[in-house]
A and B are shown apart, each in its own frame.
Chain A
Amino acid sequence: MPKDHGIGAAQTRREDVRFLTGQGNYTDDINLKGQAYVHFLRSDVAHGKIAKLDTSAAAAMPGVVRIFTSADFEGVGGLPCGWQVTDKHGEPMQEPAHPIIASGKVRHVGEIVAAVVAESLPQARDAAEAIELDIEELPPVVDMKAALEAGSAKVHDDLTSNLCYDWGFVEENKGAVEEAFGKAAHVTTLELVNNRLIANPMEPRVAVGDYTRHSDESTLYTTSQNPHVIRLLMGAFVLGIPEHKLRVVAPDVGGGFGTKIFHYAEEAFCTFAAKACNRAVKWTSTRSEAFMSDAHGRDHVTTIQLALDENNNFTALRTDTLANMGAYLSTFAPSVPTWLHGTLMAGNYKTPLIYVNVKAVFTNTVPVDAYRGAGRPEATYQLERVIDKAARELGVDPIALRRQNFVTEFPYATPVAVEYDTGDYHGTMDALERMADFAGFEARRKESEAKGKLRGLGVNCYIEACGIAPSNLVGQLGARAGLYESATVRVNATGGLVVMTGSHSHGQGHETTFPQVIAEMIGIDESMVEIVHGDTSKVPMGMGTYGSRSLAVGGSAMVRAAEKIINKTKKIAAHLMEASEADIELKDGAFSVAGTDKSVAWGDVCLAAYVPHNYPLEDIEPGLEETAFYDPSNFTYPSGAYACEVEVDPETGKVTIERFAAADDFGNVVNPMIVEGQVHGGIAQGVGQALLEGCVYDENGQLLSASYMDYAMPRADDLPFYSVDHSSATPCTHNPLGVKGCGEAGAIGSPPSVVNAVVDALQSAGKNVTHIDMPLTPARVWAAMQ
């Protein structure tokens, strides 16, 4: 019988009651007394010199409180970058200044040129129209290859070129990799584009800055996945506000997908302007602004080569990637194409030699940073596509080729610096084969052909590094932050618990799953546990939620804090029952003495801690509140095998997904329903990338896909019913819950199988199509068939 409480129970999400009845408290729901509104005047030119910026007429318009330009931000720091990559010569990356408001030059369409604070939003917009702005256009830098050519215009005049870094990994392996390619029996080469995406969370970004003059305290309400990180970056590097004078609140957040990790100019602006104007200042992004100011994702151009010996064993792999940084370095941008990408190139395979080269490039486009999966989808896509291509070239079964090269012994140290603790790649592939009914495929293909359609089957595996991350390791790799997590568990006198977690829920369901863990540990009902997150004044510290880290890292911190509580309550229980602490057992919410019928309830012990009349005061303090910081000793390595079946309309090129199966190994699962939902959502975004979503700039740096009229988001009717399975689980060996993280898997694991399936469909009709770049729109598929 399935459990209905604790770890493993498919409990419905308690936060949904609030979300589905309109009771959520999102940042835009926060309206402060006397607040003013800001409208940002943004550049409509990709690259240019600000020749004239005259705000005098605008400043005199009705309702204007104050107009800010870059001149107001002299002496204020720029937006910091949180990760420094060292290039293959040991030199630090080129790191340009990142101003809050463009200074001298504009570098992408959408960059802030001036900010109008007014009594109302329409007044702010009216005044912005009265600003006299003259931008002298400079040659735009859009194409990455052209950006690296000698003589290209430069995005940043003070840098030596548009190259941010040239990263080689592992540089020492390069010679051995070349040698292995020289000896290979077969080499498969594939050039591909990992298409640029715009995350488009349902809730656009919002920032409300507030200032209390008498105490000199600033507060920022913001749509963030990590309010403490924003407090640290903005306080220490931008505005110079010490943390005890700065509170950052990220209340209900309507989806992030990575794009709300980063510290944005609008947040710093609202905090700064609130102090400057001595009143609250609010900004709510329009959807149009979101398209040109939220960090974009992906955007790699890659050549990958796989070397095989005469027995089809993978002997070496090398890749060359151009990675778009956009105009400035967003908070974690440099880490995405390097440490989150190169370290995953081994995939599920025991390829002994790997060399990854990545050149990061500045262009006159919106900054690019982490988006669901961040680096790992790019690694998975190229690897799983090149393996598929190799199987076709060699005439072998793509699943057999993968199985033959699987890593089977754990722990496994890859040639790209990470060590997989556990995994069972044959196990997930077996689960996939059971679900996906490969045996019935030929019959289904015939049915499709009878309707004039082509049918294709595509399979891929994936591995990801989650539970980000061991602080000492990432420090060596250039992170300018630690990646631990904290939790405080407070038990009240009547036995109820409040967990203050540094993880941040913006759709993941922490308010449901975290109590399930506590309920399991103590043996009480989940309703006795409340979760507090998203407020730096309530939670001690937090690195936030991304990289599928909440349960693996934040949950582990919570477990550690709860263990401290349990240890203390056992001492109290031992005292109350006049027994030895070693004999105390906690089960079903009661303490008992082993071998006796003595028992005392959880609530009574908690009460004793706060009403310590009969209490071991000489040994322990009253009260029940414990904090733990948890720093993981390794990444976690979720893995899986996915299969996609498509139909292609050969007359129009339209692809429809007929079946989709996902077998994942997430280690232990706390709430299978929520895990399934995460997989569904991830696949939707992966299918979105594969078939629909494409962020396109023209040669002038104008964003062509600047609204939903041209940027296609996946909709329910674009997606099939999925089959998912996570029974083939190998628990993580190094965190207390044995969990691995499930948030990004779907988005990482699904694009290659979709593209593999379409290529399979076209080849079944005799078309010599070996690759089509995503998104596989009808027009592209049709063109490939001609």
Chain B
Amino acid sequence: MYNFDFEKPSTVADAVAALGQEDAQALGGGQTLIPTLKQRLASPSKLVSLKGIPEMVGICRGDDGALCIGGATPHVQVAAEAGDYPALAALASHIGDPAVRNRGTIGGSLANNDPAACYPAAALASGATIKTNSREIAADDYFQGMFTTALEEGEIITEVRFPVPEKANYQKFVQPASRFALTGVFVAKYADGVRVAVTGASEEGVFRWTEAEAALSSNFSADAVPSAPSADGMIGDIHGTPEYRAHLIAVLTKRAVAAAA
């Protein structure tokens, strides 16, 4: 680790101000950022902890019925308190291990946008809204490729709003070592259609499998899931080939639909 300054503001405004300093960086649960610092792969001048901002922690229902989760809410709290959206609570309960769930936050996960992370699939499949200190971003516009998002420098995710679906399920097939998603599929059925988001598989990061969405919107059953998508552009590494990941997408989508239905 290199030296850095540390601040723990209690309002979003103060956090935004603190992040104005050159090379300052937000700190959520630190589950990604701290290991990066330990390996000396990043050298922020200042870390601004978001964990002391009461308005960024907690879960409630919005006027439009959406489930609103504060950007600094840890996974353990989502697992315990997001009962109105069981698939989301279940997803949170399977992230990492208890230590990771106690510290890691939804805002940190979405800001990091790891190509194998779970929350991005939920946000994209739910058509969630990413609320920041300055604007609201639709999930469809937010995810822009591996580790890349629409966030500007110093912009903070303050809340994530999930429209609650009629039915939903997340199927995570774990990578044996990290137990992140080797491939994960989140299926959410709304009155106006079905959304299917895939994580872990594509070199472009989380994406919507629109072919499956179309098929499932007219017939929400496992049998309706199309055959595996093309392996082009899928990730190939020591844990699985592009073909394997493409195959898993179809298998997991079927299982998610079956579990949700």
Which of chain A's residues has its CB closest to B252's CB?
A652
Chain A residues positioned under 8 Å from B237 (CB to CB): 704
User: How many Å lie between the Cα of A783 and that of B247 in the bound state?
Assistant: 11
Chain B residues, Cβ within 8 Å of A779: 239-241, 244
From A21-29, A410-418, A705-713, the one touching the partner chain is A705-713
Ordered by A's residue number, 18 sampled pairs between the chains whose C-beta atoms are within 8 Å are A122-B1, A129-B40, A652-B248, A652-B251, A692-B176, A692-B177, A704-B238, A705-B238, A709-B178, A710-B177, A710-B178, A777-B239, A778-B173, A778-B176, A778-B240, A779-B240, A779-B241, A783-B241
Cα–Cα distance between A691 and B238 once the two chains are bound (Å): 14
- How far apart are the CA atoms of A691 and B1 in the complex, in Å? 35
Q: Does A694 contact B (CB under 8 A)?
A: yes
B238 lies within 8 A of A710 (CB): yes
Which residues from A are CB-within-8-Å of B39?
A: 288
- Considering only residues 211-261 of chain B, those with a C-beta below 8 Å from chain A are 237-241, 244, 247-248, 251
Chain B contacts of A713 at CB under 8 A?
177
Query: Smallest distance from the beta carbon of B240 to chain A beta carbons, Å?
Result: 4
Q: Are A712 and B244 in contact (CB under 8 A)?
A: no
**Given A694-B238, A705-B238, A779-B244, 5 more pairs with CB closer than 8 A:** A125-B40, A691-B176, A704-B237, A779-B240, A782-B244
Interface assignment of A651: CB less than 8 Å from any CB of chain B: yes
Most interface-central of B39, B240, B241 (chain A CB within 10 A): B240
B177 & A709 in contact (Cβ 8 Å cutoff): yes
Q: How far is the CA of A779 from the CA of B238 in the complex (A)?
A: 9
A711 touching B40 in the complex, CB below 8 Å, given contacts A694-B238, A696-B238 = no
B251 and A651 contact, CB distance less than 8 A: yes
CA of A708 to CA of B237 in the docked complex: distance in angstroms?
A: 15
Given A710-B238, A782-B244, residue A777 in contact with residue B1 (CB < 8 A)? no
Question: 4 tightest CB-CB pairs across the interface, nearest first?
Answer: A712-B177, A779-B240, A712-B176, A709-B178
Find out whether the CB atom of B239 lies under 8 angstroms from the CB atom of A710.
yes
Knowing A652-B173, A696-B238 are in contact, say whether A708-B178 is a contact too (CB < 8 A): yes
Interface residues contributed by chain B, number (CB under 8 Å): 17
Chain A residues with Cβ under 8 A from B173's Cβ?
652, 654, 778
Q: Chain A 479-522, CB within 8 Å of chain B: the 1/0 string?
A: 00000000000000000000000000000000000000000000
Most chain A CB within a 10 A radius of its CB, from B39, B182, B247, B251: B247
Interface residue ranges of A245-294 to B (CB < 8 Å): 288
Residues in A with CB closer than 8 Å to B248 are 652
B126 CB to nearest A CB, Å? 25
The size of the chain A interface, using a CB distance under 8 A, is 25
> Which residues of B lie under 8 Å from residue A691 when comparing CB positions?
176
Give the Cβ gap from B181 to chain A, nearest Cβ, in Å.
13
Residues 218-229 of chain A, each 1 if its beta carbon lies under 8 Å from chain B, else 0: 000000000000
User: A122-152, CB under 8 A of B: which get 1 and which 0?
Assistant: 1001000100000000000000000000000
Residue of A692, A704, A705, A709 ringed by the most chain B CB atoms within 10 A: A709
Q: Which of A730-786 contact B (CB under 8 A)?
A: 777-779, 782-783
Residues of A near B238 (CB, < 8 A) are 694, 696, 704-705, 710
Distance from B115 Cβ to chain A, minimum over Cβ atoms (Å): 13
In the complex, the chain B residue whose C-beta lies closest to that of A692 is B176
* A694→B251 CA distance, assembly (Å): 26
Considering the chains assembled together, what is the distance between the CA atoms of A652 and B244 in angstroms?
9
Give the chain B neighbours of A692 by CB distance below 8 A.
176-177
Shortest Cβ distance from residue A755 to the other chain B in the assembled complex, whole angstroms: 16
Smallest beta-carbon distance A34→chain B, Å:
24
Q: Which of B182, B239, B251 counts the most chain A CB atoms within 10 A?
A: B239
Q: Which residues of chain B are near A710, meaning CB under 8 Å?
A: 177-178, 238-239
Residues facing B in A662-717 (CB within 8 A) are 691-692, 694, 696, 704-705, 708-713
CA distance A778 to B178 in the complex (A): 14
User: Could you give, for residues 639-656 of chain A, a 1 whenever the CB lies within 8 Å of some chain B CB and a 0 otherwise?
Assistant: 000000000000111100
CA distance A712 to B239 in the complex (A): 10
Contacts of A708 in B (CB 8 A): 177-178
Complex CA gap A653/B247 in Å reads: 11
Give the residues in chain A near B178, CB-CB below 8 Å: 708-710
A711 nearest in chain B by CB position: B177
Which residues of chain A are near B177, meaning CB under 8 Å? Answer: 692, 705, 708-713
Chain A residues whose C-beta falls within 8 Å of the C-beta of B176 in the assembled complex: 691-692, 712, 777-778
Alpha-carbon distance between A651 and B258 when the two chains are bound, in angstroms: 15
- List the B residue with the shortest CB-CB distance to A654: B173
- Smallest distance from the beta carbon of A696 to chain B beta carbons, Å? 5
Contacts of A288 in B (CB 8 A): 39
A186 CA to B237 CA in the complex, in Å? 40
CA of A125 to CA of B40, assembled, Å: 10
Which A residues lie within 8 Å of B239 (CB)? 710, 777, 779
Residue-wise, chain B 10-39 has the 8 Å CB interface mask toward A (1 for contact) of 000000000000000000000000000001
Q: Which residues in B have their C-beta under 8 angstroms from that of A778?
A: 173, 176, 182, 240
Q: Provided the pairs A652-B173, A710-B239 are in contact, do residues A782 and B1 lie with their beta carbons within 8 angstroms?
A: no
Report the separation of the CA atoms of residues A692 and B40 in the bound assembly, to the nearest whole angstrom: 29
Give which listed residue, B1, B40, B182, B244, contacts A783 with CB less than 8 A. Answer: B244
- Output the nearest chain A residue to B240 by Cβ-Cβ distance: A779
**Chain A minimum-CB-distance residue to B176:** A712
Which of B39, B177, B241, B251 has the most chain A CB within a 10 Å cutoff?
B177
B247 — which chain A residues lie within 8 A by C-beta? 782
